[in-house]
Amino acid sequence: MKTTGNTIFFTGGTSGIGLELARRFRDLGNTVIISGRRKDLLDQLAATDQLEGVLLDVADPDSIATAFADVTARHDVNVLITMAGIMQSENLQDPAHLATSEAIVDINLLGTIRTITTFLPYLQQQADPVVMTVSSGLAFVPLALTPTYNATKAAVHSYTQSLRLQLAGTNLQVIELVPPAVQTNLLDGAAPDPTWMPLDEFADETITLLQQHPDAEEILVDRVHFLRAAERENHYAEVVTALNAGH
């Protein structure tokens, strides 16, 4: 993926990792369009950050279709980044968790699949097209507190691999961004743990890796390697224990 001269559409992008990466890409000379469910927040970011915003709810197929038609009528989008997602804790012994679980699957997994399905034929007609999905280190080692989130990110990882295999030989590059725990309020909307990776540090390292490895299939900052490689390096049980200590 080239890191300048693109027109990039983010699902999500109004906060956390998505917003910081949108700012970095904008500063590198890309046209960046973010999306979200709150018009007031999109309007605020348009004023403060000069980031164009589009209303989008990835849980709603009609909303995806409308956003796609709107964005592609005004821009030659060549990069799709499926950033929209939610992360909530669950108690699997409480049947009430099911509603939370269904919402996480609908947004994190089905939202990703719906959006890629809508954009894919269009992107394949563009120059230098890219689909970037966003999984998590928790796709590879589970945090017991967030079981459905972990499962959706594992599914996004597998779906991304299948997408890449089916598109082999085409002009479309498929990249998986695999974040570690980053200092955002993604988990239950709560304040982040100060031991997590600082957001600015994550965004900077991600952009550097994209610049250094334009043909990369996965973007792995240093802090996520212990999760990504745990099973391969036969440290899985120890990493599971360490990750879940205190939770």
Instruction: Give whole-number Cα distances, 71 to 68, 119, 190, in Å.
Output: 5, 11, 32
Distance, in Å, from the CA atom of 221 to the CA atom of 217, rounded to the nearest integer, reads 13
Question: Which residues is 182 bridged to in the sheet?
Answer: 197
E strands present in the chain: 7-11, 31-36, 52-55, 79-82, 130-134, 173-177, 218-219
Instruction: Give the three-state DSSP class for 172.
Output: coil
Element (H, E) at 195: none
Instruction: Answer whether 209's CB lies under 8 Å from 224's CB.
Output: no
Whether 159 is catalytic is: no
Phi, psi (rounded to 5 degrees) for 136 = -175, 155
Number of Cβ within 10 Å of residue 89's Cβ equals 17
What angle in degrees, to the nearest 10, is found between the helix axes of 16-27 and 199-212? 50
Distance of CA 122 to the CA centre of its chain: 20
Instruction: Give the three-state DSSP class for 24.
Output: helix
Distance, in Å, from the CA atom of 243 to the CA atom of 226, rounded to the nearest integer, reads 10
Instruction: Give the three-state DSSP class for 25.
Output: helix
What residues are labeled active site? 149
